[in-house]
Structure 1
Amino acid sequence: MTATTVQLKHEVKDLSLAPLGKQRIDWAGREMPVLKQIQERFGREKPFAGIRLVACCHVTTETAHLAIALKAGGADAMLIASNPLSTQDDVAACLVADYGIPVFAFKGEDNATYHRHVQIALDHKPNIIIDDGSDVTATLIQERQHQIPDIIGTTEETTTGIVRLQAMFKDGVLTFPAMNVNDAETKHFFDNRYGTGQSTLDGIIRATNILLAGKTVVVAGYGWCGKGTAMRARGMGANVIVTEINPVKAIEATMDGFRVMPMAEAAPLADIFITVTGNKHIIRSEHFQDMKDGAIVCNSGHFDIEIDLKTLESMASEIRTVRPFTQEYRLKSGKSVVVLGEGRLINLAAAEGHPSAVMDMSFANQALACEYLVKNKGKLAPGLHSIPAELDGEIAALKLKAMGINIDTLTAEQVEYMNSWTSGT
């Protein structure tokens, strides 16, 4: 790192985009009442006073509200992008110009720039890391061991990041607490299922303008993201095939009414392929060879490695951009394969990511997880920790209140019955 780089206060595309960003951030806020209530409390209580915080997230209108809430709580916060194509440049500009939050992110940044931004984030000497894929945490452990004593803990947003944290803990290198935000019920039930389902199809439609009704769509992976994607694709009239490696999830997909088969069998049948597994090379050379001419391939998992693009490139005689975020690979056999969003998260590359109402709960979990880490500094063992059930319940209750929905409460008799073993039928 050069001295000049360390002294940078922000690196965004164009600060003149800030007014548009402010307008869009305000619009998103209309659908984020839970985080708004948390922000107001943070503003009064200042739970992050004296805390340096780094967030590696998709820089969207919804993330802006998380960053604003953390700053309201007294955090010395910095934001970097977690994906090269997910940054909304007007939002990044607004956070710098209107809220004084350092942002190092712009749409289309290359891998070298991304890794430089990770280093800049670690130069901030964070006490708390909010991660989306665990890149900042992994870099800290691999390259900045001397900074680990400053870490109170980290929070993780994604399935991919949780898998990496589990591997770190297994190898004995995760020596501080990490909050598993991804598995909070108010996160994965809604964000992964309803958010990914809707926004993935939104990205595909924006990139291609195709009609989904009547198309055959392969969804690779039947976790919460896969369930949501398959459900929404079917809802728009697509014939959906699910591929899986987990026999329990394969049975579930079958019982949910989807055809289940290996990718090798699905490859010649489908018009559109969507990967949501978190693993690598789910779609590879033998699958490309067997696809229909003009088959569309995209990814809604965290990293672009779900599709073996390097091999596809070697198989192509020509690559051309036919629409924004849409590249056609003309194979030497004469067939073509169309890749959306360079294999990166299609819902963020070609669309705007999850709807604000969904991210309201996800980022409420992030905000409260950070507060939990601060309140329990020095008390939590190294490794992964679930979001406490009471925090999950608090978020759900705040969401219901904002929606004007009331629910029943147990009577004293019902409470006694549920806590007794002597009362039978």
Structure 2
Amino acid sequence: MTNSINQSIVADMNLAPEGHLKIDWASAHMPVLNRIREQFEKEKPFQGLKVTISLHLEAKTAYLGKVIKAGGAEVTMTHSNPLSTQDDVCAALVEDGITVFAKHNPPPQEYKELLVKALETKPDLIIDDGGDLVSTLHGERQDLLATVRGGAEETTTGILRLKAMQKEGKLQFPMVAVNDAFCKYLFDNRYGTGQSVFDGINRTTNLVVAGKTVVVCGYGWCGKGVAMRAKGLGAQVVVVEVDAIKAVEAYMDGFSVMPMIEAAKVGDYFITVTGNRDIIRGEHYKVMKDGAILSNAGHFDVEVNKPELDALSVAKRTVRRNIEEYQLHDGRKVYLLAEGRLVNLAAGDGHPAEIMDMTFALQALSLKYVNDRYKEIGRQVMNVPYELDEQVARYKLEALGIGIDSLSAEQKAYLDSWAEH
């Protein structure tokens, strides 16, 4: 339906009460973001500005939108994945005065149209997830570039796209690489992805992980978290990598390491977390066990090659919500979770609130930083300043009631000197 007040496009405004409950629950477990909200309410750093946010539209993201709004911004929110959008949360945001253009699982054309509508509000600042806002602005809607001062990017995939644009001299405004901040990848990518991937897999399949072989494709920070959680659930873990250093690290961490074609023969569960395409493809399907379960935790649904799986199948059916069964020519069956999209969000609720508290605190502070300095930063991808990273960590420790030591003047002098022994 279309909301007559702010022209939002959401599925059903009647779902708003349930959405409010979800947002209230998340915000009660996000003390760092609550503290930043208090600061923003006093300082109003975004007063008179328009901010467009493209993220997975669920409760924790919704609360980030409310915090940015508390800073004085006129906020518009849209999706970054068709299956991760929660319609009740979208409706609740509309009631809270935020413009929303998003629905759960719209047709591809409508998905794109809703994203473009969010950009047609002519934002001053953006928060992106996967680079869809930035690529649309620099591609088919360059007419909307003029007002954009800069923004922040959430994911590895998005930062790879941004750096490619910068290298080609096409990036037209500064973007902060939030994904590369310590308080993002050490906690969100590792502990958040690790837990939420298995939240999505377990609630979807209702099958045991203990005793099974879990193949983790990619051993970056997300892959480390997934492998750690699989081991904790009692699985035998196999890591597939293309980076020799990460492969040695996985081996030293106690995991088996092998090429994908060998891992395909032994895996019961497969989880891709690479940010690249065609990680699992035709040659691998041909040697998989009967009953193998495939899932993806990378941003786009290209890591598990679906066209090649379709081509090798003689029948396909949905056997449970978010589980598609593919019957291969020789009678074997393999199962794909959540259409190969982000399994932790498309088949679950995403990262825990306490984890996203730190990530979204970085987003809020980074957005303020780029707004204050966008002219001097220029057209580049920049890292989150260390002082913002440390500030979020300090707020987190305070919320946990944990104190730490500080260096004495003598200790600082010792570290700063080459002559002292």
| Stretch deviating more after TM superposition (142-151 or 192-201) | 142-151
* CA 259–71 in structure 1, closer or farther in 2 if over 3 Å, else same: same
Among 312, 315, 319, the alignment partner of 1:315 is 312
Match of 1:86 in 2: 84
The 2-side partners of 1:6 and 1:253 are apart by 54
Shift of 1:230: 0.3
- What is the correspondence of 1:75-114 to structure 2 with a 5 Å cutoff? 75-97=73-95, 99-114=96-111
The 2-side partners of 1:292 and 1:380 are apart by 52
Q: Does 1:161 align with 2:178?
A: no
Aligned-partner residue type, residue 339 of structure 2: E
The 2-side partners of 1:413 and 1:340 are apart by 57
Match of 2:406 in 1: 409
How many residues align? The count is 420
Conserved in 2, the CA contact under 8 Å of 1:199 and 1:347?
A: yes
Q: Does 1:336 align with 2:305?
A: no
Match of 2:390 in 1: 393
The 2-side partners of 1:8 and 1:242 are apart by 48
Q: Does 1:27 align with 2:25?
A: yes
Q: Does 1:134 align with 2:131?
A: yes
Match of 1:152 in 2: 149
Shift of 1:12: 1.5
Shift of 1:149: 2.6
- Tell me, what secondary structure is at the counterpart of 2:119? helix
Conserved in 2, the CA contact under 8 Å of 1:6 and 1:120?
A: no
Conserved in 2, the CA contact under 8 Å of 1:6 and 1:123?
A: no
* CA 8–342 in structure 1, closer or farther in 2 if over 3 Å, else same: farther
Unpaired runs of 5+ residues, structure 2, are none
The 1-side partners of 2:149 and 2:74 are apart by 14
Among 301, 318, 339, the alignment partner of 1:304 is 301
The 2-side partners of 1:14 and 1:210 are apart by 33
Unpaired runs of 5+ residues, structure 1, are none
Shift of 1:146: 3.0
Shift of 1:5: 12
- Tell me, what secondary structure is at the counterpart of 2:238? strand
The 2-side partners of 1:114 and 1:40 are apart by 34
Aligned-partner residue type, residue 56 of structure 1: S
Shift of 1:7: 10
Match of 2:53 in 1: 55
Conserved in 1, the CA contact under 8 Å of 2:101 and 2:115?
A: no
Match of 2:43 in 1: 45
> What is the CA RMSD across the aligned residues, in angstroms?
1.4
Shift of 1:148: 2.2
Conserved in 1, the CA contact under 8 Å of 2:264 and 2:287?
A: yes
- What is the correspondence of 1:198-217 to structure 2 with a 5 Å cutoff? 198-217=195-214
* Superposition TM-score, scaled by structure 1 size: 0.97
* Superposition TM-score, scaled by structure 2 size: 0.98
The 2-side partners of 1:361 and 1:282 are apart by 30
The 1-side partners of 2:395 and 2:61 are apart by 19
The 1-side partners of 2:144 and 2:318 are apart by 44
Shift of 1:121: 1.4
The 2-side partners of 1:422 and 1:36 are apart by 45
- Tell me, what secondary structure is at the counterpart of 1:193? helix
**How far does the alpha carbon of each residue in 1:43-67 deviate from its partner, in whole angstroms, 9 at most, with x for none?**
1111001211110000111101100
Shift of 1:8: 7.1
Conserved in 2, the CA contact under 8 Å of 1:214 and 1:237?
A: yes
Match of 1:235 in 2: 232
The 2-side partners of 1:227 and 1:377 are apart by 34
The 1-side partners of 2:273 and 2:107 are apart by 23
**How far does the alpha carbon of each residue in 1:2-45 deviate from its partner, in whole angstroms, 9 at most, with x for none?**
xx999971121211111111111111112100000101110111
Shift of 1:110: 2.4
* CA 279–5 in structure 1, closer or farther in 2 if over 3 Å, else same: farther
Conserved in 2, the CA contact under 8 Å of 1:240 and 1:258?
A: yes
Match of 2:377 in 1: 380
The 1-side partners of 2:218 and 2:112 are apart by 29
- Tell me, what secondary structure is at the counterpart of 2:146? helix
The 2-side partners of 1:319 and 1:9 are apart by 39
Among 281, 288, 292, the alignment partner of 2:289 is 292
Shift of 1:147: 2.7
Shift of 1:381: 2.0
Among 61, 64, 69, the alignment partner of 2:62 is 64
Conserved in 2, the CA contact under 8 Å of 1:137 and 1:154?
A: no
**How far does the alpha carbon of each residue in 1:44-98 deviate from its partner, in whole angstroms, 9 at most, with x for none?**
111001211110000111101100000000111100010000012211111112x
